[in-house]
Structure 1
Amino acid sequence: MLTQINPRPSAATLVRMRAPGLLLICTLLLAACSKPAEKVEDIRPVRVVVLNPANADVTSEFPGAVQARYESQLGFRVAGKIIARQVDVGTVVKRGQVLMRLDPKDLQLAQAQAVAAVSSAASNRDTAKADLKRYQDLRDKNFVSQAVLDAKDTAYKAAQATYDQAEAAFKGQLNQTAYATLESDVDGVVTAISAEAGQVVAAGTPVVSVARQGAKEVVVGAPENQVDKLRGSSDVQVRLWADPKQVIRGTVREVSPIADPVTRTYAIKISIPDDTPNVKLGMTAYASFTSKTSDNAIKVPLTALLRVQDHSAVWVVDGSTVHQVRQVPVQINGQHGNEVWIQGDLRAGQQVVTAGVNQLKPGQKVTILNAPEGSLPPGKAVASPPLASNNAEPSAAAATGGAAR
């Protein structure tokens, strides 16, 4: 029996057999010699503003419209059908000028009836008076009793009362007939028309609005959280949309006690001088109310505010060399444009973040972009972010984008 002997493997075969093991050993050696990856510290670029002392003026501005101080809504004092409208919106009218007319036929018939009633009552009164005179003569001759004379006297007094009643009714009907013509009771301008010819209206229904000439005012709507502050404002300035350069001094005349059911704002009426030129009814106007802030109120850009749960806050930068931020709750005292007045645990000279507020957390390290002059103590430099290639300064757009990331 022959035994088969395997030939000795070649060198190439041995290399192939040992290659995976050698590769594993090399990998382990390299892993043991390599250093761990360094952690990159998260430093956010931000923009800041230096807080300045407060106790300055806060201006609140609201849009409104010019209106007449006195405006009457006129209506007929009797019911009827309108047969003529003799004015349009914007018509300047004089006192006693006819605005509308009702169909007077029914009123004229009632007047004729009243005239007939007066005539009948006058006849009965004259007859009773003549009878009384005759019976007085008969009584003087003792031809009739005193009781008969008293009856005639009573009949005459009743006829006289009936005449007086008919005459009063006639005068009332004359007034009713005159009420078929609607006249302006003041010199002014027609601002609205609520009915047209052919329409049947009830007594007292407003059909024409007339604004009295002379005194004008600006009416604005204020939110409920500022009504009390604006109520006592003594410095009110009014500007017209048609002429924004013209500044008109105004005075708060009236503040509505209830809110408008649609806008939920309170109407504030501001009186302006009667001799103010170029002011017409219906013009768009803006009223600015100026008031003093409290002693510890500070002005910051609106972008510095951060909403945290149920209150507002700002980020304050602490540290002279290593800048870190901390959150400070604040209370808003007023706003004008893109600036807001706040009050809280702040003091003049502190730095408040104005860009990148939503990407920060308490204790976050930051680097300040374009630090304002005087934001750091003397001799301290501001840490700047690495510059781009070729030592080019980062653009404003790039800086803004870096702060927002």
Structure 2
Amino acid sequence: MLRHALPRAVPVCLALLLSACGHEEPVHTSISPAMVVQPQPSALASQSYPGEVRARFDPQLAFRIGGKVTRRLVDEGERVKANQPLAELDPQDVRLQLDAIRAQVAAGQANLTLVRTERDRYKILLDRQMVSRSQFDNAENLYRAGEAKLKQLKAEQDVASNQASYAVLRAPQDGVIAQRQVDVGQVVSAGQTVFTLAADGEREVLISLPEHSFSRFRIGLPVSVELWSQPDQRFSGRIRELSPSADPKSRTFAARIAFTAGKVPAELGQSARVFIQNDAASALTVPLSALGAENGAPYVWRVSAGNTLEQVPVRIGPFGEKSVPVLEGLKADDWIVAAGVHVLHAGQEVRPVDRSNRTINVAAKE
């Protein structure tokens, strides 16, 4: 009996299995979220350059005569007052020159007294017609020559007296000694820099500008300055001075930034950062993480109205610290993927969200 029932049961089981397979539930593919952003106008972005706070006026101080340094009265970083002695040269040579010219002045005065007396005597004799006119004229010329010679010697005495005073180097104004370049015993020449004085008053920031983008900078260009000691506050400024030639070692151009925000708590030697806005108002900027490259060609992933991805080639400008300007390829109302661009592919469906994980309606073009 079992033998006759088995052939009948097999078709029934097969039918039940086929029926169960026909009612299997379909597998749903999950849609991954993608953080998206919109390009920002480049006018809101800026490039930054590190700098150092310097004095508006920082004259290089030097002796007006040469000699051997016998005393150094101040050191680097020391505050000085106007007319304060800073260093001294050996005064022996200039004192000897002054003594020599003083002796010459005394001899000139004695000679002038002699020729004056001779002229007066010849004038009396000429009135009595006891000497000729030519003899009197000769005495008159000797007197005038002696008078001129004495004036010359007195002028040389003044010069020698000044030379003696030049043996002491004095501060031209209040300030701080920023650099010291000589020491006691060193022989210096006239005009050789001895100290650099950071004068009290206005402060500026010295920065170096890159050679490749130097043409877009100009004197008077507005900037903003952030001091290292006050990172949350920016001060307005402008480019006051641009170097006409590049540094031969760094190939950068020096620029001085003047503050325009009134009194700024900037101290000498402080670190600062200067922010300069981009010129191109038509360009847009995107985060660096949104940029990809294929065979050297940059691209971004744009989310279409159906929440699918399309690869968009773009033309970019110089890289910034956190963003890069996009010169061609995007519009301001586009939504682009801001991170994870290396794992995406064209036509992929995503769920666009912002940085707070809120869903974005791309079709609305917010």
- State TM-score, norm by structure 2: 0.79
User: Corresponding residue for 2:285?
Assistant: 299
Picking from 301, 315, 319, the partner of 1:330 is 315
CA change 1:172–1:56 in 2 (3 A) is closer
Q: CA deviation at 1:302?
A: 1.1
CA contact (8 A) 1:81 1:200 kept: yes
User: Corresponding residue for 1:367?
Assistant: 348
1:285-324 equivalences in 2 (<5 Å): 285-291=272-278, 293-295=280-282, 297-306=283-292, 313-317=298-302
Picking from 320, 329, 339, the partner of 1:345 is 329
Q: CA deviation at 1:292?
A: 6.2
Q: CA deviation at 1:237?
A: 2.0
Picking from 240, 243, 248, the partner of 1:256 is 243
1:347-382 C-alpha deviation (Å, 9 max, x unpaired): 34545455566688xxx646366643437559xxxx
2:233 and 2:34 map into 1 onto residues whose CA distance is 37
User: Corresponding residue for 1:100?
Assistant: 87
CA contact (8 A) 2:316 2:326 kept: yes
CA contact (8 A) 1:46 1:356 kept: no
2:89 and 2:56 map into 1 onto residues whose CA distance is 29
Q: CA deviation at 1:290?
A: 3.0
1:291-320 C-alpha deviation (Å, 9 max, x unpaired): 56523x3322213334577x7521445777
Alignment-mate amino acid for residue 322 of structure 2? N
CA contact (8 A) 1:305 1:312 kept: no
CA change 1:368–1:235 in 2 (3 A) is farther
Q: CA deviation at 1:122?
A: 1.2
Q: CA deviation at 1:196?
A: 0.5
1:220 and 1:209 map into 2 onto residues whose CA distance is 19
Alignment-mate amino acid for residue 170 of structure 1? Q
CA contact (8 A) 1:131 1:152 kept: yes
Q: CA deviation at 1:278?
A: 3.6
1:140 and 1:92 map into 2 onto residues whose CA distance is 72
Unaligned runs of at least 5 residues, structure 1: 1-44, 379-405
Q: CA deviation at 1:236?
A: 2.3
CA change 1:65–1:322 in 2 (3 A) is closer
User: Corresponding residue for 1:74?
Assistant: 61
CA contact (8 A) 1:215 1:273 kept: no
Q: CA deviation at 1:181?
A: 0.5
1:369 and 1:218 map into 2 onto residues whose CA distance is 48
CA change 1:124–1:187 in 2 (3 A) is same
Picking from 78, 83, 87, the partner of 2:70 is 83
CA change 1:115–1:308 in 2 (3 A) is farther
1:149 is aligned to 2:140 = no
CA contact (8 A) 2:33 2:350 kept: yes
Q: CA deviation at 1:234?
A: 5.4
Q: CA deviation at 1:52?
A: 4.0
2:125 and 2:215 map into 1 onto residues whose CA distance is 86
User: Corresponding residue for 1:19?
Assistant: none
CA contact (8 A) 2:238 2:260 kept: no
1:159 and 1:318 map into 2 onto residues whose CA distance is 101
- The SS at the match of 2:52 is strand
Alignment-mate amino acid for residue 210 of structure 1? L
User: Corresponding residue for 1:164?
Assistant: 151
- The SS at the match of 2:267 is coil
User: Corresponding residue for 1:30?
Assistant: none
2:243 and 2:308 map into 1 onto residues whose CA distance is 51
1:300 and 1:368 map into 2 onto residues whose CA distance is 22
User: Corresponding residue for 1:129?
Assistant: 116
User: Aligned-residue CA RMSD in angstroms?
Assistant: 3.0
CA contact (8 A) 1:50 1:348 kept: no
CA contact (8 A) 1:98 1:181 kept: yes
1:2-401 equivalences in 2 (<5 Å): 49-52=36-39, 54=41, 56-231=43-218, 235-272=222-259, 276=263, 278-291=265-278, 293-295=280-282, 297-306=283-292, 313-317=298-302, 325-332=310-317, 336-350=320-334, 352=336, 365=346, 367=348, 371-372=352-353, 373-374=359-360, 377=363
CA change 1:202–1:54 in 2 (3 A) is closer
Number of aligned positions between the proteins? 328
CA contact (8 A) 1:97 1:183 kept: yes
1:336 and 1:131 map into 2 onto residues whose CA distance is 90
1:61-86 C-alpha deviation (Å, 9 max, x unpaired): 11101100111111111110000010
CA contact (8 A) 1:104 1:177 kept: yes
CA contact (8 A) 1:233 1:290 kept: no
CA change 1:55–1:212 in 2 (3 A) is closer
CA contact (8 A) 1:80 1:102 kept: yes
Q: CA deviation at 1:330?
A: 0.8
Unaligned runs of at least 5 residues, structure 2: 1-31, 354-358
1:377 and 1:275 map into 2 onto residues whose CA distance is 48
- State TM-score, norm by structure 1: 0.72
